[in-house]
């Protein structure tokens, strides 16, 4: 590396000069810090201020004779700072990226960062060739300068505030990801231009391979390790910061030294992996991000200031008026080239990844920022044909371009974003913020009223309190007035419909986003599932369109090549061997107990390896490694024949390697004889060959040892080469040991692929259920967010279609790989238990029962346990799927399940009709596998509105018009038909092949009679129906809007269902929270208002009457939730009452009368 300025090695700097240098840097750091603080109020370009300060300081000292002593900066210093700045910049940028969004728009970043950079570089080279003299043009210099000028650099978080305000995370990710890809290309070009080695095809391919393939793989592995280390050190923040800093710098140095300059790609992959894991941890990674941003900011300020100072100090005598104008021309050319590049690349950008509007593309073109990389690389490049004057003039042009970009682009970006309409608030965002502000103000007002009644605060100034506790709306002000004016103007019908559709889509998307977050907090989905579904929701949220199944299909489906590859390996390994191994693993898992562990026979490692076959594979792999090593050394020694000293040294090394192999061989044979005995070795033909081979290897080693230590000068090259080749051939024969037990290798490969497949299936299964839950919530709550009936019906239909497509994928996974379902439920149970333990730990810490040290220790342990529970369980025991499904039916007892499965289990084909509309159910169907479509219409008047309609879907009770619902295991059909003896109001058809347990109505009656003890079977049936309907009722109540489906279901399962068969009036006390009327009619005693089930009884109704004669009216079914344990009177306590005559006789008679003739 040539240093153009400041190479006076004889200059000596005293302590005073160093103090002045430090003071100058401290002053610059203080000024930069003040400017950065002022950015909260004013849009100040900090980099431009530092550039102006550095250049001005350089110009001030340029007239002094001892100008090098004031601040002795050289190109070598800047190069060293650049080498330390690049890993910090890359890691900071990748660590702050939204990893899931970056994966979705990765190819757009590649197109801009690689293809766009090459295209803009060629255009800028044309500009330079037309504006520069021919004698000043140098190809390598022109290419590097064009790359430096056109390659964008990563923006600071403060510069991204405009994009963050625009809420365009996709645009923000593309603008942050493009510089990282471009920096990788730029770093390769910079190394080729500055390193002394010649640019050959081999060197180019080696660098490209390391940068694009080896570096990302190594970086991903190190990123996972770094994330795990930071999780373990979550409670010790200083140590965690030190570990992250050491890891990044060590990885950068290793990649640059041993991986041919793949430092940037390695750090980029490392940062992305660490970032994706940081979001999964229970610790907060904000402190780590702020630390790295501070380091990057400090490096950036120092590099830019020193570079500007050096240019201002040394370029005074070489700058004329023409050179002062040159940065303006270069800036205009750079902006023009950038816009042309984005226009040319726009068709490709729209065809891959996320679709970008022309406004967003304009922002991409304008946000082409420059920083420390351009000016530092420009100062440290080395071209021997370039003279000093020309180099300083070019450096001034780069510095001026940097200053203009920071002054013009940074300061105008927020205004440009606002002018293009990217800051405009949608109606949904405005309504959502208004709702949150109103809720916060109501909470503050209620707290104020409570505090004013407290005598402790009787002397407080409540006007001052009200003034300082009033919560402002951040979306209020002028925008609300503009919005009001816009809404008062006339809007065509087509535009009104489009606006209503966009508003409805945004409302449903936000509802699904909240639902996904609630599922994660409740431990029902994996953290990667949440990040993926949020990334999938981001694009439709920004485009204000509905999330379609086609957008989710890449996430919830498994590529076919994984299935094909697994089947291929399974054929090679042998189905019999794999099944035998799996059955053995299952038997050992089921039968092993603590007593068995104590009584297990101790078997040596070698015996186990001999039995499993791993001994042969290990011997073969060791032999293969030594063959490759000795072959490489032999070829290298042949090239050094002419140099006796190196020849003898290599011969000694080869002899030592052969001795090491002979030592391993001797240990192997001794262990073998000790383990299985000499007699068995003599009887086995393969073991006899091992013994013969051992003596041949010993003989070869003895001969080559005597040849290497023989006196008389240089050994005979031909003789030694023959001995080496024969030794290598002998070792090569031992590779056959691997082929002898090749089934072991194929089983090992099958295991790896099986783990890969299971992990992919696990995440697809987990994500599918998260998406299904979100679509269910959208269908249940669409009427509350969408006022237009036609639009609500369209959204409900779309949600049903998305749910069906996803359910088919889930059922396919369940049928082909039942262990995935078991693994998912296992993880959910473990995560829910750990979540409860984690909440309890926080409560104990807040209560003062744990000090900081104890809390940190338990916090770290639980964090690791949560991390382990978040992964799919490695070993799952899969039993009878149908039996486990029947056990999950809440109203069935365990002892009757085997008999029901043996007697009534059926397999139904796709399209088979289960029950026709207005017909009675012949059986109660319990779905064990597959999907059943339930369709109907609730516009027709129900003949008996007092009695609950026999619908197998709750959509009938709460939707208007036609509906479709899809039921899966372990849902039941016909249960209400048995309880109410009414015909079905829905049609049920097998959407896929279905496995069901069809229990006839006579058998249901027999089951009731066989189990009269409390809680009787009728109670359990009605309770399961009440929970199903209660979920649909409470999901729209304000108190439970933030609850997940599973949390709400667990809450209802703790509810109470009184026996109101003979009740005439009923009173509730203050402990009751909710009252859900499932069936029947109640009348408020005060207002005389009637409530017909299914309905939610308001909290104001505490006394009610039940009109009608008990024997003639529909049996009142009511579900009550309480805040604490609640005991009903004995005559109303249905849970503890045995079976009575009125519980089932009426239903049995009607059911028999209807079913009997058929």
* pLDDT tens per residue across span 866-907: 777 776 665 566 667 788 888 888 888 888 888 998 889 999
Q: For residue 951, give every residue at least 6 positions away whose Cβ sits within 8 Å of its Cβ, in sequence order, or none.
A: 934, 936, 957, 976, 984, 985, 986
For residue 41, which phi and psi values (nearest 5 degrees)? -115, -35
* pLDDT tens per residue across span 689-728: 777 777 787 887 787 777 766 545 556 677 777 777 888 8
Give the bridge partners for 973, in sequence order: 925
CA distance 203 to 762: 42
582 pLDDT tier (thresholds 50, 70, 90): low
Closest residue by Cα to residue 723 from 749, 697, 762: 697
Specify the fold of 15-382+389-419. Answer: Na+/H+ antiporter like fold (1.20.1530)
CA distance 849 to 540: 48
* pLDDT tens per residue across span 843-872: 888 877 777 778 877 887 887 787 777 766
Question: ω before 1015 within 30° of 0 (cis)?
Answer: yes
CA 410 to the chain's CA centroid: 32
CA distance 288 to 234: 10
CA distance 140 to 145: 9
Burial class (CB in 10 A: 0-12, 13-18, 19+), 1069: exposed
Bigger pLDDT: 985 or 447? Answer: 985
Question: Which pLDDT does position 594 carry in this prediction?
Answer: 42
743 pLDDT tier (thresholds 50, 70, 90): low
Q: For residue 278, give every residue at least 6 positions away whose Cβ sits within 8 Å of its Cβ, in sequence order, or none.
A: 95, 227, 230, 285, 288
Helix (H) or strand (E) holding 235: none
DSSP state of 88: H
Interval 184-212 mean pLDDT: 81
Decide: 18 and 271 in contact? Cβ < 8 Å.
Answer: no
Q: For residue 97, give every residue at least 6 positions away whose Cβ sits within 8 Å of its Cβ, in sequence order, or none.
A: 173, 176, 177, 180, 271, 272, 275
Closest residue by Cα to residue 817 from 1075, 1034, 553, 566: 566
**Does the pLDDT of residue 944 top 80, yes or no?**
no
* pLDDT tens per residue across span 354-406: 788 888 889 889 888 888 888 888 887 655 555 777 778 888 888 899 999 98
Question: Which pLDDT does position 481 carry in this prediction?
Answer: 42
CA distance 798 to 213: 42
CA distance 975 to 882: 19
Task: Report CA dihedral (824, 825, 826, 827) to the nearest 10 degrees.
Answer: 50
**What's the start-to-end Cα distance of the chain, in Å?**
96
What is the percent of the chain where pLDDT is above 70? Answer: 80
CA distance 237 to 239: 6
Interval 24-32 mean pLDDT: 75
CA distance 592 to 583: 14
Decide: 160 and 363 in contact? Cβ < 8 Å.
Answer: no
Q: For residue 346, give every residue at least 6 positions away whose Cβ sits within 8 Å of its Cβ, in sequence order, or none.
A: 356, 361
Decide: 995 and 936 in contact? Cβ < 8 Å.
Answer: no
**Does the pLDDT of residue 1100 top 80, yes or no?**
yes
**Does the pLDDT of residue 1120 top 80, yes or no?**
yes
Please give the CATH architecture assigned to the domain spanning 1018-1138: Sandwich (2.60)
**Does the pLDDT of residue 162 top 80, yes or no?**
no
* pLDDT tens per residue across span 751-769: 777 777 777 788 888 888 8
CA distance 213 to 191: 18
What order do you get walking across the sheet with 1095-1097 strand by strand? 1095-1097, 1072-1079, 1117-1122
Q: Count CB neighbours of 809 within 10 A.
A: 21
Is the full-model pTM beyond 0.85? no
Decide: 641 and 717 in contact? Cβ < 8 Å.
Answer: yes
Residues 1099-1125 as b/e (b if ≥16 CB within 10 A, e otherwise) read eebbebebeeeeeeebbbbbbbbbeee
Closest residue by Cα to residue 320 from 392, 406, 220, 219: 392
CA 751 to the chain's CA centroid: 25
Give the bridge partners for 932, in sequence order: 967, 990
In DSSP notation, 535-571 reads HHHHHHHHHT----HHHHHHHHS--HHHHHHHHHHHH
Q: For residue 462, give every residue at least 6 positions away whose Cβ sits within 8 Å of its Cβ, in sequence order, or none.
A: 448, 452
With H, G, I as helix, E, B as strand and everything else as coil, classify residue 929. Answer: strand
In DSSP notation, 279-328 reads TTSSS-THHHHHHHHHHHHHHHHHHHHHHHHHHHHHSGGG--HHHHHHHH
CA distance 932 to 989: 6
**Does the pLDDT of residue 687 top 70, yes or no?**
no
592 pLDDT tier (thresholds 50, 70, 90): very low
**Does the pLDDT of residue 13 top 50, yes or no?**
no
With H, G, I as helix, E, B as strand and everything else as coil, classify residue 454. Answer: coil
Specify the fold of 879-1012. Answer: Jelly Rolls (2.60.120)
Handedness of CA 58, 59, 61, 67 (dihedral sign): positive
**Does the pLDDT of residue 255 top 80, yes or no?**
yes
Interval 980-988 mean pLDDT: 90
Bigger pLDDT: 428 or 659? Answer: 659
* pLDDT tens per residue across span 74-101: 888 888 888 889 999 999 988 888 877 8
Q: For residue 677, give every residue at least 6 positions away whose Cβ sits within 8 Å of its Cβ, in sequence order, or none.
A: none
**Does the pLDDT of residue 940 top 70, yes or no?**
no
In DSSP notation, 20-66 reads HHHHHHHHHHHHHHHHHHHTTTS---HHHHHHHHHHHHHHHHTTSTT
CA distance 1070 to 291: 52
**Does the pLDDT of residue 2 top 50, yes or no?**
no
């Amino acid at each position: 590396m040539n240093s153009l300025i400041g190479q006076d090695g004889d200059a000596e700097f005293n302590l005073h000069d160093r103090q002045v240098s430090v003071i100058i840097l401290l002053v610059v750091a203080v000024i930069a810090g003040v400017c950065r603080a002022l950015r909260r109020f004013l849009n100040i370009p900090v980099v431009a201020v530092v550039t102006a300060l550095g250049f001005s300081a350089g110009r001030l000292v340029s007239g002094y004779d001892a100008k090098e002593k004031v601040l002795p900066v050289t190109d070598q210093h800047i190069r060293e700072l650049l080498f330390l700045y690049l890993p910090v910049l890359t890691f900071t940028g990748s660590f702050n990226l939204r990893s899931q969004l970056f994966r979705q728009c990765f190819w757009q970043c590649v197109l801009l960062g690689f293809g766009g950079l090459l295209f803009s570089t060629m255009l800028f080279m044309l500009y330079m060739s037309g504006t520069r003299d021919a004698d000043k043009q140098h190809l390598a210099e022109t290419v590097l300068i064009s790359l430096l000028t056109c390659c964008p650099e990563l923006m600071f978080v403060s510069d991204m505030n405009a994009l963050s305000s625009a809420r365009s995370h996709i645009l923000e990710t593309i603008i942050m990801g493009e510089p990282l890809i471009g920096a990788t290309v730029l770093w390769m070009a910079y190394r080729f231009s500055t390193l002394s080695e010649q640019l050959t095809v081999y060197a180019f391919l080696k660098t490209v391979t390391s940068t694009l393939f080896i570096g990302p793989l190594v970086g991903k592995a190190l990123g996972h390790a770094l994330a795990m280390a930071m999780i373990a050190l979550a409670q010790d923040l200083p140590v965690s910061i030190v570990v992250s800093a050491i890891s990044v710098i060590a990885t950068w140095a290793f990649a640059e030294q041993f991986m041919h300059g793949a430092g940037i790609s390695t750090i980029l992959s490392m940062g992305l992996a660490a970032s994706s894991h940081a979001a999964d941890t229970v610790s907060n990674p904000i402190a780590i991000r702020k630390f790295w941003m501070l380091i990057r900011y400090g490096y950036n300020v120092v590099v830019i200031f020193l570079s500007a100072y050096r240019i201002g100090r040394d370029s005074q005598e070489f700058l004329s008026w023409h050179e002062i104008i040159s940065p303006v021309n270069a800036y205009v050319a750079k902006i023009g080239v950038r816009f042309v590049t984005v226009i040319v690349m726009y068709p490709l950008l729209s065809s891959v990844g996320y679709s970008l509007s022309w406004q967003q593309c304009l922002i991409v073109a304008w946000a082409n920022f420059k920083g420390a990389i351009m000016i530092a690389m420009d100062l440290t490049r080395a071209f021997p044909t370039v003279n000093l004057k020309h180099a300083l003039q070019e450096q001034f042009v780069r510095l001026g371009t940097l200053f203009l970009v920071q002054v013009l682009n940074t300061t105008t970006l927020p205004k440009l974003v606002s002018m293009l309409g990217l800051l405009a608030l949608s109606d949904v965002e405005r309504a959502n913020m208004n709702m949150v502000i109103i809720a916060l103000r109501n909470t503050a007002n209620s707290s104020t009223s409570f505090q004013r009644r407290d005598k402790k605060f009787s002397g407080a100034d409540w006007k001052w309190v009200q003034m300082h506790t009033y919560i402002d709306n951040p979306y209020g002000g002028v925008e609300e007035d503009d919005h009001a004016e816009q809404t008062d103007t006339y809007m065509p019908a087509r535009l009104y419909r489009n606006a209503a559709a966009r508003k409805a889509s945004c409302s449903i998307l936000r509802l699904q986003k909240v639902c996904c977050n609630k599922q994660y907090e409740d431990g029902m989905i994996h953290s990667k599932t949440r990040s993926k579904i949020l990334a999938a929701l981001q694009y439709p949220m920004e485009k204000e369109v509905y999330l379609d199944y086609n957008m989710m299909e890449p996430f919830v489906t498994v590529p076919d090549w994984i299935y094909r590859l697994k089947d291929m390996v399974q054929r090679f390994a042998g189905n019999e061997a794999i099944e035998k191994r799996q059955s053995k693993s299952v038997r050992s898992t089921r039968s092993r107990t603590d007593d068995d562990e104590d009584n297990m026979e101790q078997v040596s490692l070698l015996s186990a390896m001999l039995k499993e076959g791993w001994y042969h594979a290990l011997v073969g792999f060791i032999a293969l490694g030594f063959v490759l090593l000795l072959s490489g050394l032999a070829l290298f020694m042949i090239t050094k024949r002419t140099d006796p000293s190196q020849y003898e040294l290599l011969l000694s090394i080869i002899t030592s390697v052969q001795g090491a192999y002979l030592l391993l061989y001797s240990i192997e044979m001794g262990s073998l004889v000790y383990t299985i005995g000499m007699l068995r070795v003599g009887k086995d033909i393969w073991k006899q060959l091992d013994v013969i081979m051992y003596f041949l290897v010993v003989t070869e080693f003895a001969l080559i040892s005597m040849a290497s230590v023989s006196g008389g000068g240089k050994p005979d090259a031909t003789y030694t080469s023959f001995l080496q080749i024969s030794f290598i051939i002998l070792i090569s024969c031992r590779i056959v040991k691997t082929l002898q037990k090749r089934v072991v290798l194929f089983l090992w490969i099958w295991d790896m692929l099986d783990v890969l497949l299971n992990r992919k299936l696990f995440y697809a299964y987990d994500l599918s259920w998260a998406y299904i839950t979100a679509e269910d919530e959208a269908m249940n709550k669409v009427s509350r967010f969408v006022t237009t009936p036609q639009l609500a019906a369209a959204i409900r239909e779309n949600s049903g279609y998305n749910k069906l497509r996803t359910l088919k994928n889930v059922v396919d996974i369940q049928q082909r790989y039942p262990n995935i379902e078991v693994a998912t439920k296992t993880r959910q149970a473990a995560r829910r238990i750990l979540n409860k333990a984690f909440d309890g730990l926080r409560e104990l810490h807040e209560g003062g029962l744990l000090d900081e040290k104890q809390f940190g220790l338990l916090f770290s342990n639980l964090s690791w346990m949560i991390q382990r529970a978040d992964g799919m369980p490695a070993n799952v025991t899969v039993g009878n799927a149908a039996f486990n499904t029947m056990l999950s039916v809440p109203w069935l007892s365990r002892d009757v399940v085997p008999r029901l499965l043996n007697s009534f289990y059926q397999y139904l084909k796709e399209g088979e009709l289960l029950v026709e509309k207005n017909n009675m159910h012949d059986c109660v169907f319990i779905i064990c596998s597959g999907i059943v479509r339930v369709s109907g219409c609730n516009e027709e008047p129900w003949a008996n509105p007092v009695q609950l309609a026999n619908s197998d879907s709750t959509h009938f009770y709460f939707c208007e018009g036609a509906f479709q619902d899809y039921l899966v295991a372990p849902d039941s059909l016909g249960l209400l038909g048995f309880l109410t003896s009414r015909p079905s109001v829905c049609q049920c058809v097998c959407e896929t092949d279905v496995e069901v347990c069809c229990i006839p109505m006579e058998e249901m009656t027999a089951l009731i009679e066989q189990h009269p003890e409390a809680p009787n079977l009728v109670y359990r049936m009605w309770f399961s129906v009440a929970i199903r309907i209660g979920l649909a009722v409470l999901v729209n109540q304000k108190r439970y809007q933030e609850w997940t489906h599973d949390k709400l279901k667990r809450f209802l399962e703790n509810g109470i269902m009184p026996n109101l068969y003979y009740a005439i009036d009923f009173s509730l006390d203050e402990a009751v929270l909710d009252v859900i009327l499932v069936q029947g009619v109640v009348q408020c005693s005060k207002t005389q208002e009637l409530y017909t089930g299914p309905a939610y009884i308001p909290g104001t109704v505490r006394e009610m009457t039940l009109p009608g004669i008990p024997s003639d009216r529909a049996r009142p079914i009511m579900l009550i939730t309480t805040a604490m344990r609640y005991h009903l009177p004995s005559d109303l306590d249905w849970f503890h009452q045995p079976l009575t005559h009125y519980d089932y006789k009426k239903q049995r008679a009607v059911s028999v009368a209807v079913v009997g003739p058929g």
